[in-house]
A and B are shown apart, each in its own frame.
Chain A
């Protein structure tokens, strides 16, 4: 006659549901959080114009005029071009006049934001290309009020 050994072991904690609990936490975080980091073109705007301060005169020779019309057509000094061409042209123009140049931006109220963004991107690309050669080029941009 064998007596059954009495087992003194403590019963183990049932942990099967831990996986489910952590899955729920995981899904909660997936739903409530977002992964997108904010990227963009950072700009500093000038302070609002005072009534009594006269706008500064700029020598025409230093002026680079960039325009976007209502149909999103991009032009520099009157000639139509693509954003990539604008970058090349700006690199040439700014390289000749790095300290005094002013890029004047004129848009229309009906210009799309996307076209404006492409133009801004092209301008930043031009400055980045110039700066990558080790030169110090200040960003000189003057934005006009959009045309009606």
Chain B
């Protein structure tokens, strides 16, 4: 019987190719997952910093009306602009002006400071923020289980 069949139909020795039709669907799923869980990075951070760790940190729920200040012992950056202490208050005020009134009202400053920054710098920044009435401050830190 086999002999007969092989006379008319050649048996193929090739392996069937793997069906790749679902591959794009899989990758699209991963893509959508990443689009949902991540958010766009809007600042080009030019200050190297490593935030300290704490056990009591809470998630900053507010997404709009946040000014990020990146600090290390050498440089200060407010959102996208590298600045210095003397201009900090005016830069913060300019950033606040650019916001909608609702956001400007509940303005929060997220202070992302390097852990080796001396407190003198932090205190000066806090004073400048106080002068420009940016009073809600979030000391940014990573969460650690053990103190």
Q: Footprint of B on A, CB under 8 Å?
A: 15-16, 18-19, 21-23, 25-26, 29-30, 32-35, 37-48, 68, 83-84, 107-114, 116-118, 120-122, 124-125, 128, 145-146
Contacts and interface: CB of A to CB of B under 8 A. Distances in A.
Given A34-B39, A40-B138, A44-B137, 13 more contacts: A19-B20, A26-B30, A34-B38, A35-B37, A38-B110, A39-B140, A40-B141, A41-B138, A113-B119, A121-B55, A122-B147, A125-B55, A125-B56
A29 B131 contact: no
A11 to B, nearest CB: 16
Given A34-B41, A39-B60, A41-B138, A117 B110 contact: no
Contacts of A44: 135-137
8 contacts: A15-B24, A16-B20, A19-B20, A33-B40, A38-B140, A40-B141, A48-B130, A111-B118
B57 to A, nearest CB: 4
A112 B117 contact: yes
Contacts of A84: 147
Contacts of B56: 41, 121, 124-125, 128
Contacts, number: 162
Interface of B: 20-21, 23-24, 27-28, 30-31, 34-35, 37-41, 51-52, 54-60, 66, 108, 110-111, 113-120, 122-123, 126, 129-131, 133, 135-143, 147
A109 B118 contact: yes
B130 A46 contact: yes
A41 B55 contact: no
A47 B133 contact: yes
A112 B141 contact: no
Contacts of A23: 27
B117 A39 contact: no
